[in-house]
């Protein structure tokens, strides 16, 4: 493993532990979250252990881990100076580390059906959406670690809105999505290619699929095709896909930026 990848994973692990410790102190006890099997269309299987009570909604979280491992091991073949390559590897490894962390956290929520696990799941969603924003800022402004840290801290702090309103998390997440897509479009206009446009479009479509399928979990269960593999399950598939397309988009832009640092040549 490259040194910058190890450093990135360490940073993600420390941040994840701090978030978990904060949640379990009870700071977010007042946050409204949905807890209980009744909020899922998948019917729990009585004979299975609790961590597999909803087998499909549980096992789908392994996809995040597999995705994280894949991108952590994937090396860039694009030319560039060692410093730029190392920084790009760090950015990619942080994102991969987030995927590695997010899968088990979501599984913990499905397994335990407790308020702290649900809060941790929600809270960690925000810095994941914020990291592509930080990556795009890197492409535009160069290596500014304190800026990236500030973006992530601001993202984490924004979860405080969930304490003020029952829909605070949804509002905050919506702002994250809009800001990230907006910055991605800006970066694409400057450094993008046909490939990055495709990845961006597929990522946005996957994001829409994630939202719609999750919200319509029970409604979709009226159709036989969604009674075994439910809307929630497919929303997680879309979530993994948007993660993957974000990786493809950002690594493609990083390559284009190294080849043409002043922007598009056409």
Q: What are the pLDDT digits (tens) for 2-50?
A: 888 999 999 999 999 999 999 999 999 999 999 999 999 999 999 999 9
Of 69, 58, 104, the closest CA to residue 244 belongs to 69
**Cβ atoms within 10 Å, residue 6:** 12
* Mean pLDDT within 63-88: 83
Question: pLDDT-based confidence at 116, cuts 50/70/90?
Answer: very high
- The DSSP secondary structure of 73-102, one letter per residue, reads H----S---HHHHHHHHHHHHHHHHHHHHH
The DSSP letter of residue 40 is S
What is the rounded CA–CA span in Å between residue 104 and residue 65?
8
As given in the structure block, the two tokens for residue 37 are 């099997």
Q: What is the pLDDT of residue 131?
A: 97
pLDDT value, residue 85: 82
pLDDT of 255: 81
Of the pLDDT bands very low, low, confident and very high (cuts 50, 70, 90), residue 265 is very low
124 in Cβ contact with 16 (< 8 Å): yes
- pLDDT, the chain, mean: 92
Which pLDDT belongs to residue 35? 95
Q: What is the pLDDT of residue 266?
A: 40
* Contact predicate 252/193, CB 8 Å: yes
User: Nearest to residue 124, comparing CAs of 140, 109, 135?
Assistant: 109
Q: Residues near 261 by Cβ (< 8 Å), separated by ≥ 6?
A: none
Q: How much is the pTM?
A: 0.93
Least confident of 9-13, 24-28, 140-144, 196-200: 140-144
How high is the pLDDT of residue 259? 56
Residue-wise pLDDT for 153-178, tens only, equals 999 999 999 999 999 999 999 999 99
Whether the per-residue pLDDT at 190 is higher than 70: the answer is: yes
pLDDT at 262: 57
Domain 3-15+56-259: CATH class, spelled out: mainly alpha
Share of the chain above pLDDT 70, in %: 94
| Domain chopping of the chain, boundaries | 3-15+56-259
Confidence of residue 80 (pLDDT cuts 50, 70, 90): low
Three-point CA angle 217, 235, 97, nearest 5°:
140
Q: Is 257 left (phi over 0), alpha (psi -120 to 50) or beta?
A: alpha
């Amino acid at each position: 493993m490259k040194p910058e990848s190890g450093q990135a994973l360490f940073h993600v692990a420390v941040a994840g532990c701090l978030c978990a410790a904060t949640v379990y102190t009870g700071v977010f006890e007042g946050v409204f979250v949905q807890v209980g099997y009744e909020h899922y269309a998948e019917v729990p299987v009585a004979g299975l252990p609790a961590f597999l009570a909803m087998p499909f909604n549980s096992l789908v979280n392994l996809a995040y881990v597999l995705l994280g491992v894949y991108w952590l091991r994937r090396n860039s073949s694009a030319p560039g100076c060692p410093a730029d390559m190392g920084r790009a590897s760090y950015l990619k490894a942080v994102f991969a580390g987030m995927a590695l962390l997010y899968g088990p956290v979501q599984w913990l929520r499905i397994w335990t059906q407790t308020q702290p696990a649900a809060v941790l799941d929600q809270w960690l969603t925000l810095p994941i959406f914020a990291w592509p924003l930080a990556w795009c800022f890197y492409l535009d402004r160069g290596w500014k670690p304190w800026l990236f840290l500030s973006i992530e801290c601001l993202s984490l702090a924004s979860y405080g809105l969930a304490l003020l309103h029952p829909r605070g998390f949804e509002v905050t997440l919506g702002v994250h999505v809009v800001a990230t897509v907006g910055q991605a479009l800006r970066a694409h206009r400057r450094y993008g290619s046909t490939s990055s446009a495709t990845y961006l479009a597929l990522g946005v479509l996957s994001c829409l699929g994630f939202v719609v399928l999750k919200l319509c979990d029970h409604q979709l269960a009226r159709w036989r095709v969604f009674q075994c593999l439910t809307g929630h399950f497919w929303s997680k598939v879309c979530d993994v896909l948007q993660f993957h397309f974000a990786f493809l988009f950002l690594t493609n832009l990083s390559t284009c930026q190294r080849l043409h640092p002043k922007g598009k040549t056409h």
